């Protein structure tokens, strides 16, 4: 067995539509460490309001595996495929998963954009939950927001962070 087979990483997997939670449960039953980013939002119906837990990235979840568990994940009902770049399964660095978990543990409600955003000024967060993390700054709807790029998903996460909490990287 090669060393690469023993390295554990966070891999994004694509699930069937609206099957993220069930697929996450099935993977956990198999002993696979998973992360399904969720947030709480207030939903309005005609007769009531209710707080519900929504999936942050529709049809995606993350698995912490080595190459030897690859087949076990793929054979799980609800898994469509691993996300690949250049013929290899893409992985998310541990620090990005940790930053995402930390951010979602707060009261802020994230906003997802599928737009391709122009590369902006690189910044380092100097205070708050994401202190020490590097990202890109853009202007969005007259408010400054930090973009935490998760390139392996082809999506960007827009976070409300004050300009005072970041400093430019030169």
User: Where residue 138 sits, what CATH number does that domain have?
Assistant: 2.30.30
Listed residue (41, 81, 88) closest to 61, CA to CA: 81
Give the tokens for residue 60.
């995606």
Count of the separate structural domains present in the chain: 2
Tell me: the pLDDT tens digits for 84-126?
Answer: 888 888 999 998 899 889 888 877 667 665 554 445 677 777 7
Give the tokens for residue 34.
């998973």
User: Same structural domain for residues 116 and 77?
Assistant: no
Domain boundary among 92, 125, 147: 92
Burial call 126-154: b when 16+ CB within 10 Å, e when fewer: eebbbeebebbbbebeeeebbbbebebbe
* Strand-by-strand arrangement of the 60-65 sheet: 33-35, 60-65, 9-15, 79-82
Q: Which domain holds residue 61?
A: 3-92
Listed residue (61, 74, 44, 138) closest to 100, CA to CA: 61
Mean pLDDT of 41-49: 84
Residue scoring higher pLDDT (54 or 148): 54
């Amino acid at each position: 067995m090669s060393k690469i087979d023993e390295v554990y990483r966070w891999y994004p997997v694509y699930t069937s539509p609206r099957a993220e939670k069930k697929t996450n449960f099935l993977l956990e039953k198999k002993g696979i460490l998973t992360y399904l980013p969720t947030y709480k939002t207030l939903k309005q119906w005609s007769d009531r309001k209710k707080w519900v837990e929504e999936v942050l990235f529709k049809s995606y979840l993350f698995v912490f595996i080595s190459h030897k568990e690859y087949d076990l994940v793929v054979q799980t009902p609800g898994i469509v495929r691993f996300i690949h770049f250049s013929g290899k399964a893409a992985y998310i660095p541990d620090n990005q998963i940790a930053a995402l978990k930390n951010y979602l543990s707060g009261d802020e409600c994230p906003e997802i954009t599928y737009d391709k955003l122009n590369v902006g000024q690189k910044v380092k967060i100097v205070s708050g939950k994401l202190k020490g993390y590097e990202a890109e700054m853009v202007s969005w709807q007259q408010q400054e927001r930090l973009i935490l790029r998760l390139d392996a998903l082809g999506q960007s996460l827009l976070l409300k962070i004050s300009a005072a909490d970041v400093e430019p990287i030169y």
